[in-house]
Structure formats: C-alpha cells, structure tokens
Structure 1
C-alpha cells in the first residue's frame, strides 16, 4: 500500500510528538558517558605510551585523537524514544522512526548482538537492542499498546513470536526484581 493511498483513506497522520506522553531510554545518558569515558581513556593511554616512548609528535597525536573519536562513534548508543503511535531511534548521523500503530513486521535477529527490527506500513524500519525495552518498562508499555493496535487493524503480519519473547523476558526480569525487593528470592 502506498502512503498516498493511506492519505486518501485517512490512515496516514503524522505521529504526534511532544505530546507529554513520551517515553525515553533512561539509561542512554549513562551509556553515552560510558562511551565518552572509554574513548578518553584510550586517548590518554595512547598519548601516555607514546610520550613515555619518546615518539609523541603532532601527527601521531592527531592519529590517536582520530582513533579515540572513532571508538566514541562506534560505542555511542542510539537514543530511543516512543510516543503515541511512533518509536524513534536517533543516532549521531540520523533518526529512524516507525509508526508502531501501523507495524507490518517485527523480527528478532540473533547473532553477536541481538536486535529487534520493526517495520511499518510505509517501509520505515528501526533496529534496537531488546534490552532497551527490558530496562525501560514505560518504553515497552508505549510500544506494546501500539503493537496491539497494529494487530487489531490486521497490519501486523509477522512478529507475534518475537514480541511474545520480548514480553516474556520483560515479565521474567520484572518478577525477579519484585522478588528480590520483597525478600522472597
């Protein structure tokens, strides 16, 4: 279905941003500082070793700064946020957004790092670490509400299994936290 068809049928509307009911990744700031610290420690160690060896020069210092900057870019986490009908993942270079109330597929890709891939009816796609949803219950709640809307509309064609796994993981970790806090562990 083309987006122009959706406009004629009244399905397309821009996601409402800044409506006050948005949810954000609460651990993003800590992860960002951690990436900056790793890059700074690498730079300090490289400069210190080069200085101690007596080979520190402007060209080498520039190379070490570039290497530390590259490490920061690689480690910098995307900022995940969600609101009524949308989920966004903003990295250093771009922002990706999907309409969570018009999802057509959700896949869980396994590998070195597990990723949850969401696609909407307009062809947009967002990849995120499922741990972000596990660590942020309000973010998961916002996404889960819209997933149920997609299922009710019949637009979500595949992905129920992946979402059920994420939901079970969240329930398992939440129950563990409740038991730990109540002393029943």
Structure 2
C-alpha cells in the first residue's frame, strides 16, 4: 500500500499541467445552421417537385445530393489554439500553424474574408476573422503568440492585418458594452 502512494506522489510531482486550449465556442451552432440550411433546401426542392408531380426516385436522389453538397460547402472549420499553435479542422485533415513562429499574416478578400497564417516551418492555415472576433480567448492566444513572433523577428508581414483584427474586436466589444449598458 505504501508503495502505491509513493508512486502516485511521484507521478503527481512530475505531471506537467496542460496549457489552456481555446476553442471556437460558436462552432456547434454553425454546424447546426449548415444542417438546417441543407435540410430546408432539400425539403423545399422535394415539396416543389412533388407539387409539380415530377418527383421520381432519381430526382429525389439528385435533390439529396444537392443538399449534401450544400452542407459540405457550409460546414465550418473548427478553430482551436493553445500556447504556440493554432489549428483549423474542417472536413479535411486538421491544419496547424506555429503561432509563436509566424512569418506572415495576410488577408484574403472575396466572397468570404479569410486570414492566412504562415509559419517558419512552411505550415499554412486559413481562418475566418469572424471566428477571432466572436471568440476573445482565441484572439488573445493568437495575439500573444504573434507578439512573440514579432519580437523574434520572424513576423515580417502581417502587423497591419493583426492590427485591423484587433481594432475590429475592440470596436465590436465597445458596441456590445454600450448595447448592454443601454448607452447605444
């Protein structure tokens, strides 16, 4: 008995506490939204086709395929971050970038704005800036590690993009505070 307790005590002494990992808190809601959109499209297409009297098994299969494709397009990436890393996992394998070794942060504008992070090891991750805005712990983790990269001198391009995201987060936080306090 004595020996087991000693072994447990030694294991507890050498246990390394895991750094806190921040996750996208709205990911599950976004997945449900993509499921709802796909289901609504499927129901609408089946209803219209049935009302027109043209619904067949082949057409129903076509509508199901179209709804599945819509779900795949709308499926959100799950973003998480810990000390020194940021990960984005969609339907494809997860991509991970070392945020304490960032080389560049660029913004891709288009239909959906994306933030592209690259590290010194060649890894690349694309994330939606709205995920950072909606999840302050994710932004805090990325911001701290980006500062480490800048101090190391590896972050050569991207300070402007990070400042824009920071300003957007500050602006939306202030709007939320004003709204909650009734000062809007």
Q: What TM-score does the superposition give when structure 1 sets the normalisation length? A: 0.87
Is it true that 1:89 corresponds to 2:107 in the alignment?
A: no
Is it true that 1:177 corresponds to 2:176 in the alignment?
A: yes
* Corresponding residue for residue 123 of structure 2: 124
Aligned residues: 168
Deviation at 1:20, TM superposition (A): 5.1
Larger of the two Rg values belongs to structure: 2
Q: C-alpha deviations, 1:3-56, integer Å up to 9, x for none?
A: xxxxxxxxxxxxxxx935111111111111010001001111111112222222
Corresponding residue SS for 1:52: helix
* Corresponding residue for residue 111 of structure 2: 112
* Corresponding residue for residue 3 of structure 2: none
Find runs of 4+ consecutive structure 1 residues off by over 6 angstroms.
Answer: none
| Separation in structure 2 between the aligned mates of residue 64 and residue 94 of structure 1, nearest angstrom | 28
* Corresponding residue for residue 31 of structure 1: 30
| Separation in structure 2 between the aligned mates of residue 164 and residue 150 of structure 1, nearest angstrom | 15
What CA RMSD, in Å, does the superposition of the two structures yield over aligned residues?
1.3
| Separation in structure 2 between the aligned mates of residue 32 and residue 66 of structure 1, nearest angstrom | 18
* Corresponding residue for residue 58 of structure 1: 57
| Separation in structure 1 between the aligned mates of residue 99 and residue 19 of structure 2, nearest angstrom | 17
| Separation in structure 2 between the aligned mates of residue 162 and residue 155 of structure 1, nearest angstrom | 16
The more displaced of 63-72 and 19-28 is 19-28
| Separation in structure 2 between the aligned mates of residue 101 and residue 77 of structure 1, nearest angstrom | 25
